[in-house]
Chains A and B, each alone.
Chain A
Amino acid sequence: MDLYSLLIGNKYLLEIIYTLFIGLICAVVVLKTDRFFRLSLHQGIRYFRNAFLFFGLAFISRYIFGLSSDLSITYSCMFGILFEYLIVMSGFFLFYSLIWRNFESANSEYVSSLFNSRILVFHLIALFISLLDFLFGVYYFMFLSQIITFLFASVIACLNYKKSGGKRKFLKFYFMAMLLAFSAWILNFLAALFFDWNPLLLINIGIINVTFFLLFLFGVLKITRK
């Protein structure tokens, strides 16, 4: 029995480990960055923290959604919409953490970074996307929104890296992480559209996702240990 067959054979166990692992990474990133935010009140750190908070919540709701055979159809639908909403919002938060300076003053303070007027637009778009997918019974709107989001995020991350002239080492990994997320969403889209959710492809997407989160964990731990 090869490794992939073993993994496919233990799909549910794998799902639990995968969710817990990513949930744990998100928790570490949120806790570390929340401390930084409370000390500095830096809006960029705040949006970055929110991204990982939503990633973590999305993966937890995804796990519950994965148990949908044990849930009623109403709960199953509810978790489906919730998962999409949370994952789309996490992508938006991560993207916004890169561009917030263009829209806000560095000295402006919001009472809430989760529900201010600018973020409200993202909430509405995320809700609209998840409801569209629910109504049409597809995931394409979520995939497309995230492909576009991470395409732009990759371009910005690349520009940031070039602008730093290689002085900021993690910017290279950040750019790599954005490319990984971008490719993972494209593969997800292809898996749904052409490959009927091929388990082998899904495992590879899972590996890309884990690498994405590990890169951020590496960056956060490396810098906070200085």
Chain B
Amino acid sequence: MTTKKRERLEVIRDILNKVKESKQIKPTRLLYASNLSPQMFKEYINELINKKFLKLEVDENEKKNFTLTKKGSDFLQEYRVIESFVENFGL
């Protein structure tokens, strides 16, 4: 059985949703949850950090965790609107 390849927008939604659900999540766990190759994961994560959708926090034990920013949370809310726009305009 083949599954439809996720689009960029869907990948971003899935990553952000996972971080939102977990409140904070380790990079390795997010990589597994995202179902992406390490290379692709790195590209998406860099983009999401650059866009300030995600924040990488390092705690006192030098452990890294991703958290969702306000902008990332706003994006998740807007995602449905963007998705509806794309579908309604046949884009």
Contacts and interface: CB of A to CB of B under 8 A. Distances in A.
A211 interface: no
Contacts of B9: 40-42, 106
Contacts of A160: 90
B15 to A, nearest CB: 14
B8 interface: yes
Interface stretch (A2-10, A140-148, A218-226): A218-226
Contacts of A48: 89, 91
A174 interface: yes
B80 interface: yes
Contacts of A156: 90
Contact of A45 (B75, B84, B86): B86
Interface residues of B, number: 18
Contacts of A169: 88
B82 interface: yes
Interface string A170-209: 1100100000000000000000000000000000000000
Contacts, number: 67
Contact of A39 (B78, B84, B87): B78
A171 B88 contact: yes
A224 B7 CA distance: 21
A219 B88 CA distance: 8
B33 interface: no
A42 B82 contact: yes
Interface residues of A, number: 29
A226 B80 contact: yes
Contacts of B90: 98, 156-157, 160, 171, 174
Contact of A44 (B75, B79, B80, B91): B91
A1 to B, nearest CB: 42
Contacts of B32: none
Interface string B1-17: 00000011100100000
Nearest to A170: B88
Contacts of B82: 36, 39-40, 42, 45
A17 to B, nearest CB: 28
A157 B89 CA distance: 9
Contacts of A223: 81, 84-85, 88
Interface of A: 33, 36, 39-42, 44-45, 47-48, 97-98, 100, 106-107, 156-157, 160, 164, 168-171, 174, 219-220, 223-224, 226
* Top 5 A-B pairs, shortest CB-CB distance: A44-B91, A170-B88, A160-B90, A106-B7, A107-B8
20 contacts: A36-B78, A36-B82, A36-B85, A40-B8, A40-B9, A42-B9, A42-B82, A47-B91, A48-B89, A98-B91, A100-B91, A106-B9, A107-B8, A156-B90, A160-B90, A164-B87, A168-B88, A169-B88, A171-B90, A224-B85
